[in-house]
């Protein structure tokens, strides 16, 4: 049965290709959506770019016929612009001068024609308002990944026979030799993914563990387990896995995705490995460390801030400076005795071009070569943004996506629709992508932070 979907503006701003995602069904764009796209077409950053992309697509469709009457879509569907429904009445509590309510009027008008419409919007409040007046509404689900608790975490704990456990460091073990065990002792075969990290336990002596990684049909030992990048040593299994993924050369691990709560050393470790590769043991592998940190208001506000680009984005990069302070001077007792000297060391790193910071909206259209690219707070990116970043990777570039899907500041994104989770699920299994999700128990920020995790 053919359905009728009414599309809100925010869907097109996040996914400008959304009009092509409804298969053989009918897509309706209220006229107010065109007005909002027109108002956004000159906006800076992702919003303006996506508005223009949606408008160009509509212009292409205009060549196929009258948009008010409807035109066919390439996927077998049908799209039309709805300019009527102006006389449709809504409850007095929903004033007509609001764009959202004008969209509701279109839905109600279509419903009166005997066609039950489905309103598609990223706006949770608008979905609630639609339900209140008896209209069906849903989120745009094309970019939605599975619930967080079911998402790929990049690690698994398995058991192996005692004799094979002893040979692991020399020979590795075949994936077929691993098994899982439930509380009742029932065994099952694990579903392993390329580059998935493994905590290996001997089935006769459970206190013994090895750390490994899935490579083809085998689990092999970690290559960088004994490394100490920029003097930093791993403190838990998650950090060993994180170190392994970051230390791998860009040709073997060009994309690293790290999810986890604050305090699990995601940014700290990423910076440590970058400095190790460029400063401590320069291998000419990377030219520089480039850091971007998306923010909920970043695209819209940066143009109004005083100063040049670096001065505009410096407040957002303060967490990076905090991590650098700890890396540059590892002596906790002496580190802050001379604040001016510490600041001078950090400024030198930036002045030499070892570390550079850029605004997310200035990355569009660029190609990065031999760059160690860190995207911090990547959960505040849309799927379209993260795709744009990953596809900009040139030869010798390593992209590191860091973030916590539970700490999203950007409107219309959640734990199932943010760019970090989207990239994690769709890049799962790629031999070029290494992933790890840090656990709550691996928070190393402070005793207070760890206690708060348990209690709050």
CATH number at residue 378: 3.40.50.300
- DSSP H helices, 68-209, are 99-112, 124-132, 162-166, 168-171
The answer to whether residue 305 scores a pLDDT higher than 70 is no
35 and 60 share one domain: yes
* pLDDT level of residue 446 (50, 70, 90 thresholds): confident
81 and 122 share one domain: yes
Which CATH number characterizes residue 32's domain? 3.40.50.1010
Q: For residue 299, what pLDDT is reported?
A: 47
* pLDDT level of residue 56 (50, 70, 90 thresholds): very high
Tell me, yes or no, whether 183 lies in a domain: yes
Order of all β-strands in the sheet with 155-160: 155-160, 197-202, 209-215, 218-221, 173-174
Tell me, yes or no, whether 159 lies in a domain: yes
273-293 confidence digits (pLDDT tens) = 999 999 987 778 999 999 998
Domain with 62, as residue range(s), is 4-138
290 and 266 share one domain: yes
Kindly give the pairing relationship between strand 26-30 and strand 4-7.
Answer: parallel
Percent of the chain clearing pLDDT 90 (strictly above): 65
Q: For residue 298, what pLDDT is reported?
A: 42
Tell me, yes or no, whether 414 lies in a domain: yes
132 and 92 share one domain: yes
Q: For residue 297, what pLDDT is reported?
A: 47
Q: For residue 60, what pLDDT is reported?
A: 96
Q: For residue 122, what pLDDT is reported?
A: 95
pLDDT average, residue stretch 268-274: 96
Average pLDDT, the chain: 89
66-70, 125-129, 208-212, 305-309: the lowest-pLDDT one: 305-309
Q: For residue 307, what pLDDT is reported?
A: 53
287 and 426 share one domain: yes
Tell me, yes or no, whether 239 lies in a domain: no
Answer with the one of 78, 106, 138 that is the final residue of a domain. Answer: 138
207 or 118: which leads in pLDDT? 118
Residue with tokens 């409040």: 125
Tell me, yes or no, whether 61 lies in a domain: yes
In angstroms, the CA 438 to CA 433 distance is 16
pLDDT average, residue stretch 290-310: 61
The answer to whether residue 192 scores a pLDDT higher than 80 is yes
pLDDT average, residue stretch 105-113: 94
Closest CA to 98 of 151, 32, 142: 32
132 and 253 share one domain: no
205 and 267 share one domain: no
Contact 242, 199 (CB under 8 A): no
The answer to whether residue 316 scores a pLDDT higher than 90 is no
- The model's pTM: 0.86
Answer with the one of 81, 114, 138 that is the final residue of a domain. Answer: 138
The answer to whether residue 77 scores a pLDDT higher than 60 is yes
195 and 266 share one domain: no
Q: How many domains does the chain have?
A: 3
399 and 255 share one domain: yes
186-195, 236-245, 349-358, 441-450: the lowest-pLDDT one: 441-450
Closest CA to 120 of 60, 35, 33: 33
Contact 342, 328 (CB under 8 A): yes
Tell me, yes or no, whether 226 lies in a domain: no
The answer to whether residue 302 scores a pLDDT higher than 60 is no
pLDDT average, residue stretch 120-128: 96
Task: Return the structure tokens found at 398.
Answer: 């390593």
151 and 92 share one domain: no
Q: For residue 174, what pLDDT is reported?
A: 93
Answer with the one of 138, 154, 171 that is the final residue of a domain. Answer: 138
pLDDT average, residue stretch 334-352: 81
Closest CA to 415 of 25, 180, 139: 139
- Residue 454 burial (CB count, 10 A): 9
Burial of 286 (0-12, 13-18, 19+ CB in 10 A): buried
Percent of the chain clearing pLDDT 70 (strictly above): 92
Which CATH number characterizes residue 167's domain? 2.30.130
160-191 confidence digits (pLDDT tens) = 999 899 999 999 999 999 999 887 878 999 99
**How far is it between the farthest Cα atoms of the chain?**
79
Compute the Cα dihedral for 169, 171, 175, 180 and give only its sign: negative
Task: Return the structure tokens found at 288.
Answer: 């520089």
Contact 59, 66 (CB under 8 A): no
212-262 confidence digits (pLDDT tens) = 999 999 999 999 999 999 999 999 999 999 999 999 999 999 999 999 998
Task: Return the structure tokens found at 267.
Answer: 């940014």
195 and 262 share one domain: no
367-418 confidence digits (pLDDT tens) = 789 999 999 999 999 998 899 899 888 899 999 999 999 999 888 899 999 9
Q: For residue 283, what pLDDT is reported?
A: 76
Beta strands in 340-447 (DSSP E): 355-357, 371-375, 398-403, 433-437
Q: For residue 339, what pLDDT is reported?
A: 79
The answer to whether residue 359 scores a pLDDT higher than 70 is yes
The answer to whether residue 346 scores a pLDDT higher than 60 is yes
Tell me, yes or no, whether 237 lies in a domain: no
Tell me, yes or no, whether 37 lies in a domain: yes
204 and 259 share one domain: no
């Amino acid at each position: 049965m053919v359905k009728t979907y009414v599309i809100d503006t925010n869907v097109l701003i996040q996914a400008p290709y959304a009009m092509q995602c409804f298969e053989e069904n009918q897509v309706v764009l209220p006229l107010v959506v065109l007005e909002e796209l027109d108002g956004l077409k000159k906006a800076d950053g992702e919003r303006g770019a996506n508005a223009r992309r949606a408008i160009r697509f509509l212009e292409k469709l205009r060549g196929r016929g009258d948009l008010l009457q409807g035109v066919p879509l390439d996927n077998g569907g049908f799209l039309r612009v709805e300019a009527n429904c102006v006389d449709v009445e809504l409850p007095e509590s929903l004033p007509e001068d609001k764009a959202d309510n004008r969209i509701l009027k279109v839905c109600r008008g279509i419903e009166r024609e005997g066609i039950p419409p489905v309103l598609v919007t990223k706006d949770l409040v608008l979905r609630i308002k639609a339900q209140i007046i008896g209209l069906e509404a849903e989120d745009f689900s094309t970019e939605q990944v599975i619930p967080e608790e079911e998402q790929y975490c990049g690690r698994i704990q398995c058991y192996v026979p005692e004799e094979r456990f002893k040979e692991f460091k020399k020979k590795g073990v075949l994936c077929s030799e691993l098994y899982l065990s439930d509380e009742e002792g029932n065994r099952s075969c694990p579903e392993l993914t390329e580059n998935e990290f493994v905590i290996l336990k001997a089935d006769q002596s459970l206190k013994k563990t090895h750390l490994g990684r899935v490579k083809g049909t085998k689990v092999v030992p970690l290559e960088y387990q004994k490394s100490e990048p920029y003097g930093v040593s791993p403190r838990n299994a998650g950090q060993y896995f994180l170190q392994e993924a970051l230390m791998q050369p860009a040709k073997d691990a060009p994309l690293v995705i790290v999810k986890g709560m604050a305090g699990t050393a995601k940014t700290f470790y990423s910076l440590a490995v970058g400095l190790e590769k460029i400063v401590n043991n320069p291998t000419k592998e990377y030219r520089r460390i480039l850091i971007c940190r998306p923010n909920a208001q970043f695209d819209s506000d940066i143009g109004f801030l005083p100063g040049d680009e670096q001065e505009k984005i410096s407040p957002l990069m303060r967490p990076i400076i905090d991590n650098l302070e700890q890396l540059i001077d590892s002596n906790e007792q002496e580190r802050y005795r001379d604040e001016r000297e510490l600041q001078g060391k950090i400024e030198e790193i930036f002045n030499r071009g070892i570390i550079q910071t850029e605004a997310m909206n200035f990355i569009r259209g660029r190609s990065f070569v031999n760059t160690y690219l860190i995207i911090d707070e990547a959960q505040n990116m849309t799927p379209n943004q993260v795709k744009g970043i990953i596809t900009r990777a040139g030869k010798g570039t390593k992209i590191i996506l860091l973030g916590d899907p539970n700490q999203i500041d950007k409107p219309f994104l959640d734990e199932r629709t943010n760019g970090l989770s989207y990239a994690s699920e769709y890049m799962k299994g790629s031999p070029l992508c290494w992933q790890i999700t840090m656990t709550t128990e691996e928070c190393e920020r402070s005793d207070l932070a760890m206690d708060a995790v348990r209690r709050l």
